């Protein structure tokens, strides 16, 4: 039986694993995709202390090097279910079963969808949630971005170096982002902001061809990048009754849920601000709490 299993190896999970390993815990980490999580899809990070102007993939690689240096045990597996047992928990993945005394949930959030016809069918055929991943496919073409948050504006500036023209479609009359990035977007000659509008139809056969707005306006576009927020990735823990009405984990000051020994960190916890360093701090505090409780026994 493991002292701790960490599910999700984004910044929060990685920070938790480093402290757990250094605290001499028998720890296992599970990640369904790539170590670093969403970091791998971020073009540029300019607010990480000591590593300004680093790409997300480069930061992910540095974190992976730290994991390897400490010989932290990790596996690429998807968690399907978690069950309570007498002295801990059973974790069921797509490949194995694991027993553990403690769990840190660090699986983050997934992008929300518009909920329109053809959206799923044309995903990867013009529709995307990641400009860094797919921007190169739209070189010198026209694209649309739906959303008006920081992610939408950052990705618009990234795409402006690749595409011919960008239409930002935003349902409100002004951006709520308080940052100099707004001026950069508005003053970029490749970007046109369409306020008080929404996408009401996605059109195309094999590939995306156009979108129809609520006003009836048709925009011919090869790409549609959707940035309308996120929802927690919690399918594997819904039976634990530790979530609020929006799907975020409810935790105490040490990030422990009401299920003793189960912690949630990072973007699984509702916050006013979502930042890499905050996710890492969550993971560290959770690991330290687990270490302290084990030492006290």
| Per-residue model confidence (pLDDT) at position 130 | 87
Same structural domain, 106 and 142: no
* DSSP structure class, residue 39: G
Same structural domain, 104 and 117: no
Same structural domain, 60 and 200: no
Buried b (16+ CB within 10 A) or exposed e, 220-241: ebbbbbbbbebebbbebbeebe
Q: How confident is the model at residue 63 (pLDDT cuts 50, 70, 90)?
A: very high
Q: What is the mean pLDDT of the chain?
A: 94
Same structural domain, 20 and 81: yes
Same structural domain, 120 and 217: yes
Same structural domain, 221 and 157: yes
pLDDT tens-digit series, residues 235-282? 888 788 999 998 899 999 999 999 999 999 999 999 888 889 999 999
Same structural domain, 183 and 268: no
Same structural domain, 197 and 162: yes
Q: Which domain holds residue 263?
A: 2-110+231-296
pLDDT tens-digit series, residues 192-215? 999 999 999 999 999 999 999 999
| Per-residue model confidence (pLDDT) at position 276 | 92
CA distance 199 to 120: 15
| Per-residue model confidence (pLDDT) at position 110 | 86
CA distance 178 to 149: 10
Q: Which of 199, 226, 253 is the last residue of a domain?
A: 226
Same structural domain, 215 and 265: no
* pLDDT over 80 at 178, yes or no: no
């Amino acid at each position: 039986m493991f002292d701790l299993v960490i599910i999700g190896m984004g910044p929060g999970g990685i920070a938790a694993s480093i402290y757990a390993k250094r605290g001499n815990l028998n720890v296992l980490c599970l990640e369904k995709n790539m170590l670093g999580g969403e970091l791998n899809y971020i073009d540029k990070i300019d607010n990480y202390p000591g590593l300004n102007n680093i790409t997300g993939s480069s930061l992910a690689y540095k974190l992976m090097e730290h994991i390897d240096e400490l010989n932290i045990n990790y596996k690429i597996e998807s968690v399907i279910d978690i069950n309570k047992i007498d002295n801990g928990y059973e974790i069921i993945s797509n490949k194995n079963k694991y027993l553990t005394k403690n769990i840190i949930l660090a699986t983050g959030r997934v992008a929300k969808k518009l909920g329109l016809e053809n959206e799923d069918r044309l995903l990867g055929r013009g529709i995307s949630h990641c400009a860094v991943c797919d921007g190169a496919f739209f070189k010198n073409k026209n694209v649309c971005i739906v959303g008006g948050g920081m992610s939408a504006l950052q990705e618009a500036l990234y795409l402006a170096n690749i595409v011919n023209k960008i239409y930002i479609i935003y349902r409100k009359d002004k951006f709520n982002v308080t940052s100099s990035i707004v001026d950069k977007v508005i003053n970029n000659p490749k970007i046109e902001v369409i306020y008080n509008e929404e996408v009401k139809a996605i059109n195309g056969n094999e590939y995306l061809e156009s979108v129809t707005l609520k006003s009836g306006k048709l925009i011919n576009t090869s790409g549609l990048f959707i940035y309308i927020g996120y929802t927690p990735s919690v399918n594997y823990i819904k039976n634990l009754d530790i979530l609020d009405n929006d799907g975020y984990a409810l935790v105490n000051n040490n990030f422990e849920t009401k299920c003793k020994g189960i912690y949630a960190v990072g973007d699984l916890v509702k916050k006013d601000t979502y930042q890499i360093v905050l996710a890492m701090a969550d993971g560290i505090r959770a690991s330290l709490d687990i270490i302290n409780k084990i030492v006290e026994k």
